Amino acid sequence: MHNCLVAQSGGPTVAINSSLAGVIQGAIDSRQFDRVYGSLNGVQGLLNGKLMDLSQKTEEIPMFIELLKKSPSMYLGSCRYQLPDYTDDDAPYAFIFNKFKQFDIGAFFYIGGNDSMDTVAKLSAYAKQINNPIKIIGIPKTIDNDLCVTDHTPGYGSAAKYIASTLLEIGHDTSIYPINSVTIVEIMGRDAGWLTGASALARNEYNSAPHLIYLPEVPFHETEFIEDVKSALKKYNNIVIAVSEGIKDESGRYISATSAVEDTFGHSQLSGTGKCLEYIIKQNLQVKVRSVEINILQRSAAHLSSVTDIGEAFRLGMHAVKTAIEGKTGIMVTAVRRTNNPYVVDMGETDVKNVAGLIKHVPREWINERGNDVTQDFIDYAYPLILGEPVVKYQRGIPDYLNISHLYPNP
Amino acid sequence: MHNCLVAQSGGPTVAINSSLAGVIQGAIDSRQFDRVYGSLNGVQGLLNGKLMDLSQKTEEIPMFIELLKKSPSMYLGSCRYQLPDYTDDDAPYAFIFNKFKQFDIGAFFYIGGNDSMDTVAKLSAYAKQINNPIKIIGIPKTIDNDLCVTDHTPGYGSAAKYIASTLLEIGHDTSIYPINSVTIVEIMGRDAGWLTGASALARNEYNSAPHLIYLPEVPFHETEFIEDVKSALKKYNNIVIAVSEGIKDESGRYISATSAVEDTFGHSQLSGTGKCLEYIIKQNLQVKVRSVEINILQRSAAHLSSVTDIGEAFRLGMHAVKTAIEGKTGIMVTAVRRTNNPYVVDMGETDVKNVAGLIKHVPREWINERGNDVTQDFIDYAYPLILGEPVVKYQRGIPDYLNISHLYPNP
């Protein structure tokens, strides 16, 4: 029997540890692997020999798995390491495959976004090239939901739930004064508007916030925006605007890079979109305005995750082990939505080449014509993904998550 | 039998509706009032005749009370209306007391911060002056915890719990890369550091974030700050800094008003402190840095409130009714901590003049000598206030709060 190896990469989500838990559980249940190794900080752990035996403490596994499923961020840490093309430089490949051999790795599971799927593609192609039978499987994760083929990505549902709940709470917060106000909420998503669109799920029988929604998929026009705000203020005292950090103008330039915000610090990081819109409103309308950037909270708030999301992340981890045992390699496991009502999702898989380096945008027809809201189709798509609340344990008043001191340099 | 009236004022908290629920429950239980009226948008509701009968739907009261206790923001809306001194202009007073008479109000309960206590002081002084027997009682609320006499204020415990939990999640989020990084978290509190200090409650057996804490009570020195960050980066890869929006330099000038951040927009609102520190670090250290502003989420996130806080807010509402029936007026009800271990809080009261317009700062001895952390005394004080998690119901994936469409202009 061989061992298997699992690693995490890219940015954190609330569900990525649940996929890790699924891999561990799947590998143990299969009885096809001696040990489940975890590589710290993605493939870097392999390069510098930082591996953890995740299957060692057998008697504690059920508790560990349960807590892991509900713990935020990345238990194994992350990396931004990008493999070179092996035809240009195969030295890292030789090193990695030597490590695979040293630790007797029969299958490698890599949980990540489309950069990580690029790594899966390269490693599996190299393995094929050198006739190494190792199975290399990608497991999707990203709050951005912008991976192709899979119906949606683990991490998205929880972030969407957090965003919708937060927008509802902001709706309550902004309604208290009988004066006009505008609150802009900047949401993550450089290239795709999936997260920002999920803010529409905040609407209920009484709450109509957010009143305007702007996604990166539609060019942003300042004059139309001002008109939209004016028009909304005729209907509502306090309007809430959800905007993606990645909105761009007609020429494809990020809005956050076009304003004075950049000039102050002399760098163009995408954290100023909300501030830009705040500035535009201040310049053009006499109204109280503030901007709120949800920032990293939307990807790390495990206290408010979606049971649907956490459950599917776990199933994808289990399914990845199954596909490896079936002899598949160079694939990414996927969520396949069979029916929407009732919501039924099967596990599937796709050649990782169909995913690596590609981006899935919100379809134009799921955005209204004016480009300032999503349609019912979008809502029907996103709604099942945010359902269900896990029981989160608290200790001393704060959530009881898994100890991650192994990630610290001086534990 | 007379009626009673209740209103809310100032900024929202997660617990202010629980105090409203306590007033309603207390008034109904006492059988001393025919009706409980709620004034929409603070005293403005009285001025423009927008009153709700909160005791009308008797058969639904238990459900209404339960949901009200857990709903964020302000069910009756708010106002920023400031009464003039009645010796200068008694016209609004005559108008308000005429309304009191019209609605046969025997007691008026005003839930708010120190501005609202100023209103309570003025109205009760005027009542005494004109020999009107109405009882006017203040009920404290503010996430800032900066009201005098009361051990702490309703709303603080929940905001503190949200901040501590969020800082723990940020601790997880920032630990994933084996590189150096600095994350600055800007927390509310213009004048007092109670909220920012509560970030220390995020620390547990493995999490040492936040590694540095800066409160407005101690002058901020840029050079010491840079030294602090350098020193922390020797010990930890990824450091997290909690900073109050209201930190000031030696001359008392807000740090957010001293930097380039102001120059861009030409206004000096206190939302840029985190960005200022980010800028200082970028200018002085070669390290990845980002800033996160928790913003209004810390005062509106009812999905993560403290049972201790919500429960005490309710008791204070009940107690306010009791004091009115006992014939007291011109007072604010208070939380009196009898013992800390076990944590026991009694209800008390104080002359509202001891509270109106005054600010309670974090004692200097609860901040370490260097001014970059709080002491164990602070932690012992704040810790019991964040304990306990309410069961929050969800509907369609988002929290199930009370309908507030009565606050909208076009319901």
Structure ipTM: 0.95
Q: Are A284 and A222 in contact (CB under 8 A)?
A: no
B204 and A77 in contact by Cβ < 8 A? no
Q: Write down the residue that tokens 């972030």 correspond to.
A: A159
Q: How many CB pairs under 8 A join A and B?
A: 216
Chain A nearest CA to B160, separation (Å): 10
Residue B284 near chain A (CB below 8 Å) = no
Does B300 sit within 8 Å of A172, measured CB to CB?
Answer: yes
Do A178 and B77 make contact, defined as CB atoms within 8 angstroms? yes
| Cross-chain residue pair B168–A401, CB shorter than 8 Å | yes
Which residues does chain A have within 8 Å of residue B71's beta carbon, measured at their own beta carbons? 172
Q: Which of residues 186-205 of B touch A (CB under 8 A)?
A: 201-202, 204-205
Give me the amino acid identity at B276. C
What is the pLDDT averaged over residues A318-324?
98
Separation between Cα atoms, residue A133 and residue B51, nearest integer Å: 76
Helices assigned H by DSSP within B198-351? 222-235, 260-265, 273-284, 297-300, 307-325
Which of B188, B395, B398 to mutate: most A Cβ within 10 Å?
A: B398
Nearest-Cα residue of chain B relative to residue A395: B387
Residue A126, φ and ψ in degrees, nearest 5: -65, -45
pTM of the predicted protein model = 0.96
| DSSP secondary structure code for residue B338 in this structure | E
> Chain A neighbours among B 39-78 (CB < 8 Å)?
41, 44, 71-74, 77-78
Determine, for residues B410 and A290 on separate chains, whether the beta-carbon distance falls below 8 Å.
no
**Cβ contact, residue pair B173, A72, below 8 Å:** yes
CA neighbor of A289 nearest in space, from B273, B269, B260: B269
- Catalytic-role residue among A118, A144, A146, A151: A144
pLDDT at A369 over 90: yes
Per-residue pLDDT at B411: 45
Q: According to the model, what pLDDT value does residue A48 have?
A: 86
**Which helix (H) or strand (E) element contains residue B291?**
strand B288-293
Peptide bond connecting A363 to the previous residue in cis, omega within 30 degrees of 0:
no
Q: Do B176 and A12 touch (CB under 8 A)?
A: yes
The CA distance from B191 to B145, in Å, is 10
Nearest to A76 by CA among A27, A110, A122: A110
Helix (H, G, I), strand (E, B) or coil at B36: strand
In angstroms, the separation between the Cα of residue B272 and the nearest Cα of chain A is: 11
Give contacts of A399 with chain B, Cβ < 8 Å: 165, 168-169
CB of A295 within 8 Å of any CB in chain B?
Answer: yes
B123 touches chain A (CB under 8 A): no
Q: What is the pLDDT of residue A409?
A: 79
Q: Does A399 touch chain B (CB under 8 A)?
A: yes
Q: Which residues of B touch A161 (CB under 8 A)?
A: 397-398
3-state secondary structure chain A: CEEEEEEECCCCCCCHHHHHHHHHHHHHHHCCEEEEEEECCCHHHHHCCCEEECCCCHHHHHHHHHHHHHCCCCCCCCCCCCCCCCCCCCHHHHHHHHHHHHCCEEEEEEEECHHHHHHHHHHHHHHHHCCCCCEEEEEECCCCCCCCCCCCCCCHHHHHHHHHHHHHHHHHHHCCCCCCEEEEEEECCCCCCHHHHHHHHHCCCCCCCCCEEECCCCCCCHHHHHHHHHHHHHHCCEEEEEEECCCECCCCCEHHHCCHHHHHHCCCCCCCHHHHHHHHHHHHCCCEEEEEECCCHHHHCHHHCCHHHHHHHHHHHHHHHHHHHCCCCCEEEEEEEEEECCEEEEEEEEEHHHCCCCCCCCCHHHECCCCCCECHHHHHHHHHHHCCCCCCCEECCEECCCCCHHHCCCC
**Which member of A237, A398, A407 has the closest CB to residue B204?**
A398
For position B80, what pLDDT does the model report? Answer: 83
A169:B399 CB<8 A: yes
Provide the pLDDT for residue B59. Answer: 66
- Positions of B annotated as catalytic residues are 144
CB-CB under 8 Å, A204 with B395: yes
**Side chain identity, residue B293:** E
| B87: helix, strand or coil | coil
Of the partner residues A294, A302, A407, the one whose CB lies closest to the CB of residue B175? A407
From residue B182, alpha-carbon distances to A12, B123, B173 in Å are: 17, 50, 12
How distant is the Cα of A398 from the closest Cα of chain B, in angstroms?
A: 5
Task: Determine the residue of chain A that is closest to B174 in CA distance.
Answer: A73
Question: Which residues 86-115 of A have a C-beta within 8 angstroms of B?
Answer: none
Q: Which helix (H) or strand (E) holds B241?
A: strand B238-244
d(CA B303, CA B320): 26
- Give me the pLDDT at residue B260, please: 45
Is the Cβ of A409 closer than 8 Å to some Cβ of chain B?
A: yes
pLDDT of residue B185: 98
The closest of B201, B147, B155, B142 to B309, measured between CA atoms, is B155
Q: How far is CA B358 from the centre of its chain?
A: 15
CB–CB contact A164 B397 (8 Å) = yes
Query: Among A210, A233, A227, A232, which Cα is nearest to A280's?
Result: A227
Q: What is the DSSP letter of B90?
A: -
A245 in Cβ contact with A186 (< 8 Å):
yes
Decide if A393 touches B, using CB distance below 8 A. Answer: no
CA angle, A59 as apex, A54 and A64 as ends, to 5°? 50
Separation of alpha carbons B369 and A202, rounded Å: 45
Q: Is the minimum CB–CB distance between A303 and chain B shorter than 8 Å?
A: yes
Tell me if B399 and A237 make a contact (CB, 8 A cut-off): no
Strands B51-53 and B33-39: antiparallel
The partner residue sitting opposite A292, judged by closest CB among B79, B205, B296, is B296
* Chain B residues closer than 8 Å to A408 by CB: 175, 206, 236-237
| B295 contact residues in A (CB cutoff 8 A) | 292-293
Contact at 8 Å (CB) between A61 and A20?
Answer: no
Residues in B touching A169 (Cβ below 8 Å): 72-73, 297, 300-303, 399
The answer to whether the beta carbons of residues A401 and A216 sit under 8 Å apart is: no
Residue B234's pLDDT is: 95
User: Is the Cβ of B170 closer than 8 Å to some Cβ of chain A?
Assistant: yes
What is the three-state SS of A117-185?
HHHHHHHHHHHHHCCCCCEEEEEECCCCCCCCCCCCCCCHHHHHHHHHHHHHHHHHHHCCCCCCEEEEE
Q: Which residue from B172, B282, B304 is facing A300, i.e. has the nearest CB?
A: B172
Geometric angle at alpha carbon B388, from B385 and B392, rounded to 5°? 125
Query: For position A258, what pLDDT does the model report?
Result: 59
Which one, of B9, B205, B208, lies nearest residue B116 by Cα? B9
Closest CA to A23 of A35, A40, A6: A6
Using DSSP's 3-state secondary structure scheme, residue B328 falls into: coil
Q: CB neighbours (10 Å) of residue B85?
A: 11
**Rounded Cα–Cα distance for residues B140 and A373 (Å):** 40
- Residue A185 CA to residue A183 CA, distance in Å, equals 6
Q: Give me the residues of A, 207-236, that contact B with CB < 8 A.
A: 207, 235-236
**Which residue is listed with tokens 């901020």?**
B220
Distance CA B51, CA B410 (A): 17
For residue B46, the chain A residues in CB contact (below 8 A) are none
Mean pLDDT per 10-residue run, chain B (411 residues)? 95 97 97 96 90 82 93 94 90 94 97 93 96 98 97 98 98 94 96 97 97 98 98 96 96 77 40 88 94 94 97 98 98 98 97 95 98 98 97 96 89 45
pLDDT of A262 higher than 90? no
Out of B165, B263, B282, closest to residue A398 by CB: B165
Between the alpha carbon of residue B391 and those of residues A389, B352, B375, the distances in Å are 11, 34, 32
Whether the CB of B178 is below 8 Å from some CB of chain A: the reply is: yes
Best residue of B17, B68, B163, B176 to probe chain A, by most A CBs closer than 10 Å: B176
Residue-averaged pLDDT of chain A: 93
Region of B135 on the Ramachandran plot (φ > 0 left; ψ -120 to 50 alpha; else beta): beta
Which positions in chain A touch B398 (Cβ < 8 Å)?
A: 161, 164-165, 168, 201-202, 204, 386
Q: Do A169 and B303 touch (CB under 8 A)?
A: yes
**Do the chains contact at A44 and B178, CB–CB below 8 Å?**
yes
CA distance A232 to A217: 22
Residue A265 is predicted with a pLDDT of 38
Angle at B296 between CA A166 and CA B233, to 5 degrees: 100
**Residue A122 binned pLDDT confidence (cut-offs 50, 70, 90):** very high
Q: Minimum mean pLDDT among A128-142, A245-259, A362-376, B360-374: which range? A: A245-259
**Is residue A343 scored above 90 in pLDDT?**
yes
Per-residue confidence (pLDDT) for residue B259, from 0 to 100: 52
